[in-house]
Amino acid sequence: MNQAAPPIGRWLLLQLLLVLVISTLFLIKSPVSGVSALTGGLIYLLPQTFFSLKAFSRTGGSPPHALIFGETIKLLLTGALFAAVFAVADTIDAMALLFTFVVMVSSHWLAPLGLRHRSSR
């Protein structure tokens, strides 16, 4: 049985759009808040994009060990990005950064619902 690859590119694009909308809303508060929100979204999105491209690069999916390796790299990248931001940034709105990161993680949990709904059409 040949399974089609999930529409991961479309999902990543929607997530990027969500990051940009949240960042724009925080930008109304202040430029620091807007950049912090963008940073929080990118801390989520960059490792997730790496993982998604690796995990879904083959039709039918990747072997379990490849998924575990990809998830490990994703978590390490996420931790490294958080550490780098807090070590390097002079001024940061931690609430905006963390809020956007949490919203993005939550949006990831909703992905199966959207992908399942799309694929049933």
**Which has more pLDDT, 54 or 20?**
20
pLDDT at 99: 97
Predicted model pTM: 0.80
pLDDT at 45: 95
Is pLDDT of 1 > 50? no
Query: How many Å apart are CA 38 and CA 96, to the nearest integer?
Result: 9
Tokens of 1: 């049985």
pLDDT digits (tens, 9 = 90+) for 78-93: 999 999 999 999 999 9
pLDDT at 57: 66
Cβ atoms of residues 49 and 12 within 8 Å = yes
Is pLDDT of 2 > 60? no
Q: Cβ neighbours of residue 27 under 8 Å, at least 6 residues apart?
A: 33, 34, 37
Element housing 101 (H / E) = helix 94-119
Residue ranges of domains in the chain: 8-119
Give Cα separations from 43 to 3, 30, 47, 61, 94 (angstroms).
31, 20, 7, 25, 13
* Chain centroid, CA 100 distance in Å: 10
pLDDT digits (tens, 9 = 90+) for 30-86: 999 999 999 999 999 999 988 887 776 665 556 777 788 888 999 999 999 999 999
